[in-house]
Each structure stands twice: as structure tokens, then as C-alpha cells.
Amino acid sequence: MSFTADRLILFGATGDLAQRMLLPSLCALDADQLIAPDLKIIGTARSDMDDAAFRNFAREALEKYLPADRRGSMAGFLNRLSYQPLDATTLEGYEELAAKVDRTGKGIAIFLSTAPNLFEPTIAGLKHAGLADGDVRIALEKPLGTDLASSRDIMDAVASAFDEDRTYRIDHYLGKETVQNLLALRFANILFEPVWNAQYVDHVQITVGETVGLEGRVAFYDDAGALRDMVQNHMLQLLALVAMEPPTSFDATAVRDEKVKVLRALRQVEAAETVTGQYRTGAITGRSVPGYDEELGKESNTETFVAIKAHVDNWRWKGVPFYLRTGKRLPKRVTEIVVQFRCLPHSIFADKGAKTQPNRLVIGIQPEENIHLSMMAKMPGLDREGIRLRSVPLDITLPDAFTGTHRRIAYERLLLDLIEGDQTLFVRRDEVEAQWQWVDGIREAWDESAEAPKNYAAGTWGPSAAIALAERDGVSWHD
């Protein structure tokens, strides 16, 4: 639906996401004059406060989480803000919210960040107040359910009020600059596409490592675990972007059509192709940290680490393993993709004593945004004792390559796309369902095997079985 919204409703406007990401992102967009002067932002949550109190709340969040050089005229941004208290579980209050929003504008964008059990009553309230009809679109922040069935319930509730072309499902990883650069790397350069297939690629690794533990997410995380929290959304989206066929164009339908083909081609994983773990007491950057059960306050079989050997059964990737791993309390915070190419079929330098190593492409997403390609080069010398070759890096550090540009928060792009109506970096319903179907199959395999997560010390790269998962194929994790 083509319109640029001039009203933005933020559900959960006093929550952690709003403080850390949403309000700073909107203020930064305002500072760069990327949102129209007439855009009004209406926050809503349970907290009882008026417009002035919400603006003070927003000011404190911006001073804490947004660098001073990105705030612009903060007073001008704060004047955009207003607030309406709301209990999302009852229809009472939605009419007052509608009056605050004022339907006489050009269009409304809604950002819904709420617990899964509040999706249905919130949608009912929006319908009741006339906030779901006409030029209105809605963005949905995860979690979108806990399995395929609950996800479908949520999406059916949303679909009762919002068509698919007005529904924007968020995966904030897709807003990261380096993730989008993955598309540019593949489809704006002729260099890689001819070798981006099973003939030349040995394997792919995707790692999402966190140093943090529960960090206030006790109830949610113990119900979710690493598989639902990270693999079902972020990691599968990264895998889809790596493995997808070239889309016909860079628009929402073409890009998402190719991603969903990859997700549907994922082979069902057996329990033996996965490793789960749970961290115990250890040390992160020299600081002692408690184990998961100590943080939780009880024993639990929830996995805080998972490693998976996956396959995409299509023409391009048949036989190429995709190794996924993610976990909490790992040695460093990192998100990266490693494309390991095959060994040379024949080395002309072998008779001269030189050893070659396969090329490797490493795409760093966070905390450092970079692209690193290892290439074989001859070491200087007269070669009287044989030719010596060494792997040397070709590095592109993206912030350095584009000096003078801001390092943007991922939500800046996603909020701007929501306001303007571009769905390219949002997830379509069939993608979500394909992701859940694959993840549910893994959980069923775990239930049948009834194997408890293996212990690993905080500050290590997970259980030793995760190393063995790759090494039995002759593969080493890129640490």
C-alpha cells in the first residue's frame, strides 16, 4: 500500500526496546531530516503519564543511548511526541488512543512490540477503535509465537485486520548495514557469483555469539532457548541471504520469493546433527560469572547454546554443509558468516615445496563490520630453497571505507521503511512459517532423543561436542 505515514504509534513505548533502539533511531532520523516535519509520534503503554512526562522519559533515554552528535535539535524531536496510557488487554482505552492519533492525516504506521499473548487483544482493540482500516500498516516485533501453531494463531489474528501488504514482520538483523552489504557483495559484483555454489564452496559457517547471560530476560529465555531465540529468526535469515538465488530485482516480492525457496529447501535435521549446551560458572573477560541455573534460580533443561549441521537440498547447494552455532556466555560478542572455498584441484607449486590453503571469505556483521578475503600470495625471496606461499588478507573495514557517514542503528532503516511503506527488509508470512516448520522438526527430534544439554564453562565456545560436530567432517570452527 503506497502512502507515507504522518502518524506513528509505538506500542510498548516505555519498554527497553523503545528506550535503547526506537526513540534513539527516530531522533537520529529527525536530526538527519529523513522524516517529514509533520510526522507525529504517539507512544502508548500501561504506564500512567501525560505528554510532558513521556517527553521527559524520552529525553532521558536519548541522553543515555544516543551519541550527542546524532541528536540534532532534540527539542524539535521531543515536540513530535505525545502519549496515551493503555491497557492492551481490554477494549477500553482504544477509542481515546484513536482520538489522540487523529485519523485526519495521510496515514498511520503502528509499531507493535508486545508479549505474544497480547497480540490478539491488541488487534481486537485496534479494530474496535477504527485503527486498522484504510491507510494503516503495522510492524510486528518478535517473538511471533513459540512454534508453528502458535505463530499461525498470532498471524491469523493480525490477518483478520491487516492484509499481508500492510503487515511488516521485523527481524532487526535485516536492518544491519553489513547484512544488506551481503546482497551487494553477491549481486553487485561478478567476481563471486560464478563460484557461489557447491562446485567451489566447501562449507559455510554462521556464528552468533553473545557474552551476556539472561540480562533480565529470565522468563522469556527459559521458555524459548537458543534455538527459538536466535536460530528460528536471525540465523535462518542470514542463511537464506547467503544461499538464495539472484532475485529478478531489488524489491520486496522478488527478494522474499528467493529467500522462502531456500527455507523450504532446508533438509530436516536429525538429533545427531545438533549439539545443545548450557553454560556453567566461568569467566568472561577475566570476570567471574554464574552458571545458567544460578542466574535462573532453578535447574532447567533449556539450551543456551546450539550447533547445527544443516543442508539446503537444491541444485546450487547440494552436499554443502551449513554449520550454525549460537550461544550465550561465549568468549566474545560476534556475528559472522564464513564461506570456505574448496582446495585447489591441482597445485603447480607443490613440486617446489609450497603448500596452498583454500580461500576463505569472512563477513563480519557485529561488533565489527568488515569483509575479509584470504588469498594465497608468494612470500618475497629468491626461492633457492623452494617457493613459499602464504595466505594474506584482503580487508574491507566498512566504517573506514565510507568515512564521514554515520554508523546507523538497524532500527533507523526499518522504522523509515515502515513509515514509507517498503517491505523489502521485512519478513513475509510464508518465510516465518517455513522457519518454524524446520525448527519444530529439530525440537521434535530432541524430544525423541531426550538428551539433556551438555555443560560448558562460561567464556568458552560451547561443549566439546560442538567442535566434534564439525571436525568429524574435517572442518574447524572459525574462532
**Known binding site for NADP(+): residues?**
46, 142
Picking from 107, 95, 93, the residue whose alpha carbon sits closest to that of residue 40 is: 107
d(CA 26, CA 16): 15
Reported as type and span, the H/E element at residue 286 is none
Q: Is position 234 annotated as part of the catalytic site?
A: yes
128, 203, 234, 406: which is the annotated catalytic residue?
234
Long-range CB pairs of 243-247, under 8 A, 24+ apart, other chains included: 243/204, 243/312, 243/316, 243/317, 243/322, 245/316, 246/186, 246/187, 246/193, 247/187
- Which whole-number Å values give the CA distances from 347 to 98, 273, 339, 343, 395, in the listed order? 71, 34, 21, 9, 25
d(CA 341, CA 199): 9
- Which whole-number Å values give the CA distances from 201 to 178, 181, 291, 319, in the listed order? 21, 20, 38, 10
- Residue ranges of the binding site: 46, 142, 172, 176, 210, 229, 328
- Residue ranges of the binding site for substrate: 172, 176, 210, 229, 328
d(CA 335, CA 234): 10
CB of 196 within 8 A of CB of 315? no
d(CA 440, CA 450): 15
What secondary structure letter does DSSP report for 350? G
Picking from 128, 126, 121, 114, the residue whose alpha carbon sits closest to that of residue 166 is: 126
Residues labelled as active-site residues: 234
